[in-house]
């Protein structure tokens, strides 16, 4: 936790004041209204009233603050300065009347790293800034307008290093809404490569309405291998049967394993599969990049809305047995 120093505290000084040199520090006792006393040692220059003025360093004993140093005026940091806490937190930048207004914050603990660069109100992140936390295997980056240490307006990105999953949220008046994540398919114009505004795909019919087995397949191509995916508008995901995926891997498919096991539901019950991101999938005249898929131990591969969400629009013409997707 960050500390707010001297907030709402009134204190008096009992001091031995003189022109200070580094080998002759000024010793002071700060007495708080709650009875707490803190011993300090100042090494630097003072004015004719005995106040810290100019360059100097103030050290504390038995207190949350370890030391403050920089340019002083009337006993307070003014201009460039630095405050270091006993827990290792560091605030450095431009001070005005003892309060940090702009600069940097840093804190390291057992390999974890927490930094902030931007505007401050004392020891609080306040105004425009960039915060980064790296704790264990999670990296969180916040950028935008801060208020009292919290992101008020801007973007937050969370990266899980073990899986590569990345989630982006937008903050509006302090409330976060997820706007993107790379473990779910969503429309991004830059992910679709093709010259035309749309591409049309023939649907391959299975069975008929009379034998209650009517279904349609869509032909896709991955890494030069063509296959048929069962078009299932009721399925949320995009799945690859395990046999097909082994063929693709043997052919050198490029993909990222998200190291996540997900549960899928269907008429046959529930199944568990591994989440991957395919570098490219070809459908019609389009190359679609960064396609999230679930690898299931099933003989059938399904093309559901989890794939169709990669496009800006989709039209299914059952009469002509055509599927048209738009970039």
Distance CA 78, CA 74 (A): 9
Would you list the domain boundaries of the chain? Answer: 11-181, 189-326
Q: With 0-12 CB in 10 A as exposed, 13-18 as middle and 19+ as buried, what is 323?
A: buried
Q: What is the mean pLDDT of residues 268-288?
A: 89
Domain at 189-326: CATH code: 2.40.70.10
Do 97 and 78 meet the contact criterion of CB atoms below 8 Å apart?
Answer: yes
Tell me: pLDDT of 212 over 90: no
Coil/strand/helix, residue 252 = coil
* Tens digits of residue pLDDT in 259-268: 888 877 655 5
Coil/strand/helix, residue 2 = coil
Distance CA 186, CA 277 (A): 13
Structure tokens at 245: 């995926």
Q: pTM of the entire structure? A: 0.73
* Tens digits of residue pLDDT in 112-158: 999 999 999 999 999 999 999 999 999 999 999 999 999 999 999 99
């Amino acid at each position: 936790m960050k500390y707010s120093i001297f907030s709402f505290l009134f204190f008096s000084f009992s001091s031995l004041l003189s022109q200070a040199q580094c080998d002759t520090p000024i010793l002071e006792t700060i007495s708080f209204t709650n009875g707490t006393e803190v011993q300090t040692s100042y090494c630097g220059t003072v004015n004719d009233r005995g106040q810290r003025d100019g360059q100097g360093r103030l050290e504390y004993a038995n207190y949350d603050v370890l030391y403050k140093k920089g340019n002083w005026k009337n006993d307070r940091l003014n201009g460039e300065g630095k405050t270091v806490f006993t827990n290792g937190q560091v605030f450095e930048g431009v001070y005005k009347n003892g309060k940090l207004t702009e600069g940097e914050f840093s804190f390291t603990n057992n390999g974890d790293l927490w930094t902030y660069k931007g505007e401050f109100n004392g020891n609080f992140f306040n105004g425009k800034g960039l915060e980064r936390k790296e704790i264990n295997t999670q990296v969180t980056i916040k950028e935008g307008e801060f208020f009292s240490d919290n992101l008020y307006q801007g973007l937050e990105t969370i990266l899980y290093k073990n899986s590569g999953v990345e989630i982006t949220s937008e903050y509006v008046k302090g409330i976060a809404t997820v706007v993107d994540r790379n473990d779910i398919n969503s429309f991004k114009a830059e992910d679709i490569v093709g010259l035309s505004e749309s591409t049309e795909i023939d649907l391959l019919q299975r069975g008929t309405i009379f034998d209650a087995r009517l279904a349609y397949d869509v032909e896709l191509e991955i890494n030069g291998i063509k296959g048929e995916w069962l078009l299932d508008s009721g399925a949320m995901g995009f799945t690859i049967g395990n046999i097909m995926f082994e063929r693709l891997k043997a052919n050198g498919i490029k993909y990222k394993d998200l190291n996540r096991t997900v549960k899928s539901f269907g008429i046959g019950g529930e199944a568990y599969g591994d989440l991957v991101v395919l570098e490219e999938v070809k459908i019609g005249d389009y190359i679609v990049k960064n396609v999230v898929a679930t690898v299931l131990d099933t003989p059938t591969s399904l093309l559901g809305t989890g794939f169709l969400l990669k496009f800006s629009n989709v039209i299914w013409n059952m009469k002509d047995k055509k599927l048209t997707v738009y970039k």
